[in-house]
Amino acid sequence: MISLTLIGILGLLSLFILLALRMPVALSMLSVGFVGTIIANANKYMATGMAEDQAWSRGLKVAYSNLAGETFEAASNYNLLVIPMFVLMGNLASVSGMSKDLFTAAYRWMGHLRGGLASATIAACAGFAALSGSSLASAVTMGRVALPEMKKYKYADSLATGSVAAGGTLGFLIPPSGGMIIYAVLTEQSIGRLFMAAVFPGIILTLLFVAAIYFVVIRNPSAGPRAKRFGRPERITSLWRALPIVGVVLLTIGGMYTGFFTPVEASSVGAFLTFVVAAYRQSLGWQASKAVILETMNATATVFLIIIGAFVFIPFMSLTELPTQLVAILTSLPIGSIGILLIIVLIYMFLGMFLESIAMLVLTIPVVIPIAEALGWDLIWFGIIVVIVLEMGMISPPVGINVFIVKSIARDVPMGTIFQGIWPFWFAMVAMIGLLILFPPIALYLPQAVVGG
Amino acid sequence: MSDKPFSKIVLIFISALDQFLKWTALICGGATLTFMTGFSVWNVLIMRKALNAPITGAEDLLLLALVTIVALSIPLGARTGAHIEIEILESRMSVLFAKWSIIFIKALGATMLGIMGWRLWHAGGTASKFGETTQQLLISFEPFYYLLSVSTLIYALVLVLDIWQIIQAQKENQLQIGEKLL
């Protein structure tokens, strides 16, 4: 017999070995969760005096039952209906040219300022994030429209690519965010409350990104020269073109905040309205429709299999009592609650250098959430902090995914230059985390004011 | 790749599987997504908000549509490389280690998925006996367990085919889904 804690440690170790050997994250969690459940349960039964063969047989039965039960539970979780719907909405928005309209509007209003095109990119990314919920989609779509413009006005490559890579990460924070939906489901928090909690941090982080651009161009004015100034009629026209996006966001996300729609309803209505806009603009040809369906299903596959893996892995972790032991160790440290939070944030920053954001989220939740609960942290507030740290991982060397996406668009810009350009935005995110730690109401005010409790 | 007849048959099979997954995703997936969007909007905006007469069992139907879309997505994602892997150490591995470790990992994954598919099939068989149904319309989960089981088993099959491709050509070819948005 081995102790449950040791089984938990061995389980985590096996998980990391499988991940390092390139087993998909979901399959690694499934395998370790399944085998771990057999071993942990068998040991538990043996500890009660049950015969060895009987204990193993009972352990296997529990694991079999968990495997099928948890898989079906994850696939039939009504709250997760928002995932395919919001992904569909983002994909329809991409093909309908909404992202280009957003950038054009921001460009015409801000482009004439120093660093204005980079700021316009950030603003457009924030706007598109409210439609798509995907950081990759934001980075790709904005990269394609914004990078050529910035190149035309001789922006420094580092600032141009850095602003696209960082702006894209806003898709992970600004609702409807895929990462936040997964966090909500795995921690049993309200998706609506989490979305509300992300509004002010999303706006503040957008402003901090703009401030970071301002800081860069103050130090080096040639990094972000002024672009053409547009007249009032052109500016108004651009706003008119961007109006459908504002309309869709206001109706869906706004409807959700006012309680008119539940998150699931808002996601369907959003997908429908975006479909109407795309159809009206005649952007849904056969190729585009095919791409929308296949990409939506592709993203659904990514997210759901990982959630299924997490649904099997999390009960195993709870069974081993490893999280409880970790809580006991951490709370006994003389560093206080803030010290523990900073340690967690630093660990996330470190992991973010190597792991993909959603993978990191599902892998760490079973261990981190019991700590947060034991320390009495508000899980909505903590979720926002976690999401921002995960965003940092998307632009952190050596494997920041958004940086690779930008690199695929700006092929002539060396990787080092892109990473050099992301630092001001990385520090803006650190500042945002600091603000959230110092002033939790930034995240908590809106859900408390709207929903109460 | 080898010119042996068996190799040709496997390649034809992979190509046929790709077409099957792609067209199933397009037709069945497209129809399910359309149903989810249209039915939900109809229920919310027209029936519930405008007429104050929500459709009985609407949530049940949407939930089953979700299971369907998940089941259709998983094997497609297996062929398009949608399932997230962490490749940070790959560049530090020797070619031989990289090859055999990925074969081992894929075999392990296929075994795990095989067990999962089997258990889902078994759970489907007992779903009616244990009263596993939707809440309002009391639709049995049985066929949906089977659907998930088949989906999982196709994923396992894809992994086996990946192993064959790696052994034959050192790498697996993934399904490209055409005009990518991302």
For residue B133, the SS3 value is strand
Q: Alpha-carbon distance A297 to A295, whole Å?
A: 5
Which residues of chain A lie closer than 8 angstroms to B78, CB-CB?
301
How far apart (Å, rounded) are the C-alpha atoms in residues B74 and B24? Answer: 12
Report chain B's C-alpha Rg in angstroms.
Answer: 20
CB contacts < 8 A (A, B): 207
Low-confidence ranges of chain B (pLDDT < 70): 1-3, 170, 178-182
Least confident of A98-112, A131-145, A276-290, B159-173: A131-145
Q: Are A265 and B40 an interchain contact pair (Cβ–Cβ within 8 Å)?
A: yes
Asked if pLDDT for residue A162 goes beyond 60, the answer is yes
Per-residue confidence (pLDDT) for residue B182, from 0 to 100: 43
Burial of B85 (0-12, 13-18, 19+ CB in 10 A): buried
Measured CA to CA, the distance from residue A90 to residue B149 in angstroms comes to 30
Distance from CA of A311 to the nearest CA of B (A): 13
d(CA B176, CA B161): 16
Residues of A in contact with B145 (CB under 8 A): 68, 72
- Out of B25, B87, B179, the one facing A297 most closely (by C-beta) is B25
Contact A293 B26 (CB under 8 A): yes
**Between residues A121 and A136, the one the model is more confident about:** A121
Q: What is the percent of chain B where pLDDT is above 90?
A: 72
Cα A359 to chain centroid distance, Å, stands at 10
> Do A387 and A360 meet the contact criterion of CB atoms below 8 Å apart?
no
Contacts of A288 in chain B (CB under 8 A): 179
List, for residues A20-65, the tens digit of each pLDDT value. 998 998 999 999 999 999 999 999 999 999 999 999 999 999 999 9
- Please tell me the distance in Å from A64's CA to the nearest CA on chain B: 6
pLDDT at position A66 is 94
Task: Kindly indicate whether the ipTM for this predicted assembly is greater than 0.90, answering yes or no.
Answer: yes
DSSP states along A121-187: HHHHHHHHHHHH--HHHHHHHHHHHHHHHHHHTT--HHHHHHHHHHHHHHHHHSSS-HHHHHHHHHH
Contact A68 B120 (CB under 8 A): yes
pLDDT, mean of residues A140-166 = 90
Q: Please answer yes or no on whether B29 and A271 come within 8 Å at the CB atom.
A: no
Cα B84 to Cα A359: distance, rounded to the nearest angstrom: 8
What is the rounded distance in angstroms from the CA atom of residue A255 to the CA atom of residue A263? 9
CB contact A177 to B (< 8 Å):
no
Model pLDDT for residues B44-83, shown as the tens digit of each residue: 989 988 898 999 999 999 999 999 999 999 999 999 988 8
pLDDT at B3: 61
How many residues in chain B?
182
Predicted model pTM? 0.88
Q: Residues A373-413: pLDDT tens digits?
A: 999 999 999 999 999 999 998 898 877 888 888 888 888 88
Mean pLDDT of A432-436: 97
H or E stretch covering A366? helix A357-374
Task: Kindly state the tokens that stand for A63.
Answer: 């694991």
Scanning A393-432 for CB atoms below 8 A from B yields 398-399
Closest partner CB to B37 (pick from A268, A295, A356): A268
Give chain A positions within 8 Å (CB) of B80: 294, 298, 301
pLDDT in tens, A206-243: 999 999 999 999 999 999 998 888 999 999 999 988 88
Query: In the prediction, which pLDDT does B2 show?
Result: 53
Kindly report the nearest CA distance between residue A439 and chain B, in angstroms: 35
Predicted local confidence at residue B177, as pLDDT: 72
Which among B37, B38, B84 has CB closest to A356?
B84
Angle B90-B91-B97 from CA coordinates, rounded to 5°: 55
**Residue A156 banded pLDDT, cuts 50, 70, 90:** very high
Nearest Cα neighbor of A200 from A172, A174, A166 is: A174
* Pairwise CB contact (< 8 Å): A31 & B112: yes
